[in-house]
Amino acid sequence: MNIFFIAAAILGLLTCLGHFTYGSKQYLQPMLASNLTPLVKTVLHCVFHFVSVFLVLSSMVLGACGMDVISNMQGFGLVLFVALNFGVFAIWQLFIAFDSDIKWSLRNVCLWAPFACIAILSLLGIYS
């Protein structure tokens, strides 16, 4: 059992919960009600759910690896892939937040924090 992977999985599930509740209410629904073209709305709606699938599957992989359901050899590659994805997501969101005109951008654009924590916990689990 790997406590770092399990902690990352729990944080991933909390992120999923926020994505499906707060994210849907604050971002998806207003976007769908906006004046964007139907094509843009459809593409962004798909992107929202692509992220949903990624968050759910990544949390499941982290949990399965944490409970030793997946062998160490195969789990190493899976968790490294998940960690690198979350790490790049965090870095990219920080870059966009710093480059934006949003006041208090790090507080308002805050998904970088759980993404970075999931990446760090996953890497700690691999290399501990």
Domains of the chain by residue range: 3-127
Q: How many CA atoms lie within 13 A of 39 on its CB side?
A: 0
What is the model's pLDDT at position 74?
A: 87
What is the model's pLDDT at position 96?
A: 87
**pTM given for the model:** 0.90
What is the model's pLDDT at position 117?
A: 97
What is the model's pLDDT at position 54?
A: 97
Residue stretches of the chain with pLDDT short of 50: none
Alpha-carbon distance of 29 to 22, in angstroms, equals: 10
